[in-house]
Amino acid sequence: MIRHLQRMHLRRLNTLLGHLRMAYSSSASEGVLLETINNKGVITLNRPKALNSLNLAMIRAIYPKLKEWDADPSTSLVIIKAAGDKAFCAGGDIKAVTESGKRGDRLAKEFFYEEYILNHKIATMRKPYIALVNGISMGGGVGLSAHGRYRVATEKTLFAMPETGIGLFPDVGGGYVLPRMRGQLGVFLALTGFRLKGRDVHHAGYATHFIESKQIPELEKALLDLKQPTSDVVDDVISQFHNQCQLDTDKPFILEDQEEHIDRLFAADTMEDICHSLQGDGSEWATKQLEILRKMSPTSLKITLRQLREGARLDIEDDLQMEYRMSQGCIRGHDFYEGVRALLVDKDGSPRWIPATLEEVTPEIVDDHFRPVQNDLNLK
């Protein structure tokens, strides 16, 4: 009788453990799916109701798998895509980060630290890394795609780095990527949060290729069916889809008429000088940009401009270290919390920045965002 009860208890315990294992597996797969298909790695961001926003659990699932695939001789390439057709990844889970920062929890440090390590891994992948960016790509989504060898956009792609409007800065390697766009285009996009859509994303340089969204499944199948996917072969396949796409080929770049003005008016090394140039220009377009900048966090504008000027001279490792220090400066400050409150929590759209003006943001405040921190990020 006792043995019978022991066996029943053991069976129930095994059943319970099985349920727990299933629950853990299901929970891990809700945010991201990781598959190996025909010796190719496939990452699917799988939070479509949350616009596939990136959280720490997803980062912790993707990073070790990328390391494994990159080291595995049998894995020939990696594809990253997203569930749904509205968003590739609309950013990181910044609400959770700011809530953690208010409590003094580890998440506010760990999220940025581990996200930037993932960004670095993507930037240094030896295997072809192909991002199928079909939908919104902002913030964390840019970090998951912009550092890859191939970034395929569609007519549904929307690219933006709107962080100055929430008291942050264009992180995830934005300090490396944006200054390498032609002229002052990246500086303009970073400071104003201007949104690019469709083929304009390719014109700007964020995307390497452009195809119609309906061709995404066909391109993915062509890549997964490759027998010997060398870099040249992968390039040929993606370029063939790109070259065959005639959608919006005759449409000029949305900022084509303004690029000369952007290069001239956003060339200064201080925000005060940029605003002075815009005000002095006096055109309708320049006046509109000045109005947009006045809505942004003055602290974010100043640290972002310095980030991009310094990032233009840095390699990806030093840039991400700089950005980690900046992220912790924002966690110590006021505007990041206030921007998230105004945009995502209360949604009143009226953030109260402190300091409230560019003139009040002293060099000491800016410098504080760039100083070394405890347990600094070192990728070398």
The model's pLDDT over 66-87, given as tens digits with 9 standing for 90+, comes to: 999 999 999 999 999 999 989 9
Per DSSP, 359 falls in state G
Indicate the SS3 state at residue 150: strand
pLDDT for residue 30: 67
Nearby residues of 331 by Cβ (< 8 Å), 6 or more positions away: 101, 108, 109
Contact call for residues 59 and 115 (beta carbons, < 8 A): yes
pLDDT for residue 190: 98
Residues involved in catalysis: 92, 140, 163, 171
What token pair was written down for 14? 């095994």
* Overall size of the chain counted in residues: 380
Q: What is the pLDDT of residues 103-136, one digit of tens each?
A: 999 999 999 999 999 999 999 999 999 999 999 9
Query: How far apart, in whole angstroms, are the C-alpha atoms of residue 29 and residue 27?
Result: 5
pLDDT for residue 164: 98
Strands 40-45, 78-82: pairing is parallel
Low-confidence stretches of the chain (pLDDT beneath 50): 1-6, 8-10, 12-28
Structure-derived torsion over alpha carbons of residues 13, 16, 21, 22, reported in degrees to the nearest 10: 150
pLDDT for residue 18: 37
What token pair was written down for 149? 């060898």
> Measured between alpha carbons, how far is residue 46 from residues 26, 216, 320 in Å?
12, 17, 26
91 backbone dihedrals φ, ψ, rounded to 5°: 135, -175
Cis peptide before 355 (omega within 30 of 0): yes
pLDDT for residue 85: 87
Q: Would you tell me the crossing angle of helices 271-281 and 284-295 to the nearest 10 degrees?
A: 150
pLDDT for residue 263: 98
Burial (CB < 10 A; 0-12, 13-18, 19+), residue 75, is: middle
pLDDT for residue 203: 98
* C-alpha closest to that of 331 among 134, 153, 96: 96
Residues paired with residue 210 on neighbouring β-strands, in sequence order = 153
Query: How far apart, in whole angstroms, are the C-alpha atoms of residue 299 and residue 132?
Result: 34
Strands 40-45, 158-160: pairing is unpaired
Indicate the SS3 state at residue 222: helix
Predicted structure pTM score: 0.91
